[in-house]
Amino acid sequence: MTDTPATSLGTVYGYPRQGPDRELKRAVEGYWSGRVSADELRATAEGLRRDNWRQLTDAGLDEVPSGDFSLYDHVLDTTVMVGAIPERHRAAVAANPLDGYFAMARGTQDVAPLEMTKWFDTNYHYLVPELGPDTVFAADPAKPVAELLEALALGHDPRPVLVGPVTYLLLAKPAPGADPGFEPLTLLDRLLPVYADVLAALRAAGAEWVQLDEPALAQDRPQAVLDAVAAAYRHLGSLSHRPKILVAGYFDRLGEALPVLAQAPIEGLGLDFTGPAAANLDDLAKVGGVPGKRLVAGVVDGRNIWINDLEKSLSTLATLLGLAGQVDVAASCSLLHVPLDVAVETEIDPEITPWLAFARQKTAEIVTLTRGLTRGTRAIAADLADNRAALESRATSTLTRNPAVRARAAAVTPQDVRRAQPYAERARAQRARLELPLVPTTTIGSFPQTAELRTARADLLAGRIDRDAYDERIAAEIREVLAFQEKAGLDVLVHGEPERNDMVQYFAERLDGYIATRHGWVQSYGTRYVRPPILAGDISRPEPMTLRWTRYAQSQTSRPVKGMLTGPVTMLAWSFVRDDQPLGDTARQVALALRDEVADLEAAGVAVIQVDEPALRETLPLRAAERPAYLSWATEAFRLATAGVRPETQIHTHMCYAEFGEILAAIEDLDADVISLEAARSHMQVAHELAEAGYPREVGPGVYDIHSPRVPGSEELVSLLRTGLEAIPAGRLWANPDCGLKTRGWAEVRRSLENLVTAAREIRAEVADHPRA
């Protein structure tokens, strides 16, 4: 770019909430357990917000976000802000707003929580609003106003961030009792006055700008939605007492919504210019830009951890200068989706560290780009030189390429990705081998990760115990888990995964080509944080990963014990994946490593092998045109990992907390023998969707919601299984929880699984008395 200076600001849409040591997690969970008071929880949250704003301002950002902080979920915060409290939670919210808030998120023993699902194509989960034709909205701007005032009092320049009204309605589902065909977007006229009240309150409190996030517009939307967008921002833009409005879209190109927003009476537009969203640049030029408007350009990838190509970003920014009244620099989306600071990762290879940028480093990149845009490239010459050297180091490093891995992947044949026998033949062989009852019971894999297990893992890492002592602790835990399952009456057992820290990280630590972090925590939902590993090079398996403990578990019981693996798509989706080759190539490498593990498990006599793919749906591209290619390589990778087994070996897979309707054909194309899916919060919706699609294999629609502390009674589980039987015949129906049990406590797990077994037995008796076709 030239050295012509511009007037630009640096900002971000949002920032990690948890704190450097996950202080928020500890405070919230402490409140739930009674160890932390409400005032102490609020003080911790206030301190984290204060620290975040100070870090962002000290780094050199000109404008900071407010309102992006949440005790649990920003969509749930929006539900509170617009007064859309479900009827079943209103009494709790009225009695104690904080406890009522958490009841909506987690449920209570007597009241079910809101449904949870994935935030677009990320691994973040949000609480789904429940709306119906009788919903009455009412503005409650207390939270966004209070956090704005906090930031102003500390001397910052804050921009409140809210979920936009159209996205909020598009994320919602019909409330229980409403017509399943009800469209929440029809409530827009009712919702807009509430947003008007919130905007007025923010303006009165001192907000100059407000950001309304509309990521739902990065998906294919019909004309009715585009008309709703135009109407919404025509209404909000016409308000006399409001802040300036910045509408932000991210995760992909805005497509058909871009000209609508470009013409809307708003003052600013935020666009993503990374990955597939880079097409926004051409689209913006085609509509003549947004002259007279503020354009916040997301040129720093907010979802991955690789350093920015500063020269490329400066070139994009230079082009944008001719398309907007003012061009500001930002990350592509909230930095909620990346870890906080790479500087604390002292165990990462020093050759690799310069290739990485977490939230703090991305903030520094934004500041550098802003300085280059406003002062010219000479002002950042040293930064550009360092950046070029790091990019060249990564491109030429031997750490990223393994010729043997690439040769093996290139040699895969069509026969390698298909089971040799059709499902019907396999099912007969599996029934003969396993001898399971109707509606067999199982769990998804993990059992509670107790404080004792976490302590043992920490003691091993710190050298306080040796490997032998640690292994005996793991063996004892496996024996306890198996004994409980046998006593409870479960049919297909699991070893409980006590040796595993996380379903992706555990495997990443045992595969060449992956890098694990020590402090790279990212919020998945509520107080659940994960450490996504970094997929930096070609993938191979140096030795078996799960064989030892699976074989040990099977030696302790005569009932089948599942081998438990994480599938190739999920290994990519829940990692920070390399961006220097097609995702399908990386998935094939991971699948081949898993294929070797599956072969070792089968050779050891393991009769049931589960390869989890909970991320298959969440990684689905937002735009329909890109989906066939993705589903092709994604399903092929799963089959490559699993297709080498004999017919009598039963392959399971598991998926959870996503909308499955759009991928039913792909689910069948996986060719798994049994699939388990989340179903409790969605009231068995997925079972009916599979039936309507003619899905021919065995299905375990989850009947026990493990993301809530409540213990479902056996009558409730019987009711759910009866609903499942309306769609899935008894000969193909399983009973299982929604997901793994690692985050739950033993007391609730014992009672819940005992109730699950009781319910399955009652269903078997009903089927025996009244057999169905």
Q: Which amino acid is residue 689, in one-letter code?
A: E
Here the tokens at position 557 are 């019981």
**CA separation for the pair 722, 715 (Å, rounded):** 10
**CA separation for the pair 243, 206 (Å, rounded):** 9
Q: What's the per-residue H, E or C state across 388-436?
A: HHHHHHHHHCHHHCCHHHHHHHHCCCHHHHCCCCCHHHHHHHHHHHHCC
The closest of 204, 286, 294, 228 to 253, measured between CA atoms, is 286
Active site residue 707: yes
The DSSP letter of residue 600 is H
**CA separation for the pair 439, 767 (Å, rounded):** 10
Segments of 34-123 assigned E as strands: 64-66, 116-118
Residue 480 DSSP SS3: helix
**CA separation for the pair 87, 675 (Å, rounded):** 34
Which residues, 6+ apart, have CB-to-CB distance to 547 below 8 Å? 597, 600, 601, 604
Annotated catalytic residue: which of 235, 337, 707, 770?
707
The answer to whether the CB of 609 falls within 8 A of the CB of 650 is yes
The answer to whether the CB of 509 falls within 8 A of the CB of 471 is no
Q: From residue 377, how far is each of 5, 164, 364, 391, 737 by CA, in Å? A: 9, 36, 16, 18, 57
**CA separation for the pair 208, 189 (Å, rounded):** 25
Phi, then psi, of 650 in degrees rounded to 5: -90, 125
Q: Name the CA dihedral angle for 143, 145, 149, 152, rounded to a multiple of 10 degrees.
A: 110
Phi, then psi, of 733 in degrees rounded to 5: -105, 135
| Other Cβ atoms within 10 Å of 414 Cβ, number | 7
Residue 26 DSSP SS3: helix
Task: Give the strand pairing for 290-300 and 522-525.
Answer: unpaired
CA angle 54, 55, 57 (to 5 degrees): 65
Q: What's the per-residue H, E or C state across 503-543?
A: CCHHHHCCCEEEECCCCCCEEEECCEEECCCEEEEEEECCC
Q: Which residues are catalytic?
A: 707
